[in-house]
Each structure stands twice: as structure tokens, then as C-alpha cells.
Amino acid sequence: MSVFGKYLSKMKLRQYCGYGYHDLQRYREEHGQIMQEQTEEKQKADLDFAEELKQKREAGEITEAQYQTLMPTPVLAAELP
């Protein structure tokens, strides 16, 4: 019953007023491209920030601990062996 209650509470929001229970595919088609673009932009921003941090670490402006703390998790995980 709680799942149905959550569904009803979300569907009352203005952003979902044109959608019903069977409109999931249409929603994904309409918003899939937007979400993909946002994901790509975030990945690019993370890589740019990671490059900036690498330059600061090499220049001695930040310590290794600060570098590892500030580095975005996906980029840091890719660097680990």
C-alpha cells in the first residue's frame, strides 16, 4: 500500500500532471535525452576539475590528502590500481 501512496503523492506534482500510470515509456523517451546530456556534462565537469586538482598537486598548492579528498570518486577510482 505504501508504494501506491508514494505513486499518488508524486503524480499530484505539477511536473507530472500530463502523465498517467501507463506513460512511463513516453516519459523516458521525452526526458532520456535531457538526462543523458546532463550526465555527460557532469562527467566532463568532473574530468576538468580532476585535471585542475592534478595541476595544483604537482605545483605543490595542495597536499596529497587534499587531492584525494577533493577528487571526484569515479575519477579517483579509475586511477587506483
The least confident of 2-6, 10-14, 23-27 is: 10-14
Q: CA-CA distance, 2 to 77, in Å (whole number)? A: 37
Question: Do the Cβ atoms of 53 and 67 come closer than 8 Å?
Answer: yes
Q: Kindly tell me the number of DSSP H helices and DSSP E strands found in the chain.
A: 4, 0
State mean pLDDT over 57-77. Answer: 87
Q: Where are the domains of the chain?
A: 2-79
pLDDT of residue 43: 87
Give the pLDDT band (50/70/90) at residue 18: confident
Neighbours of 71 (CB within 10 A): 18
> Does the pTM exceed 0.85?
no
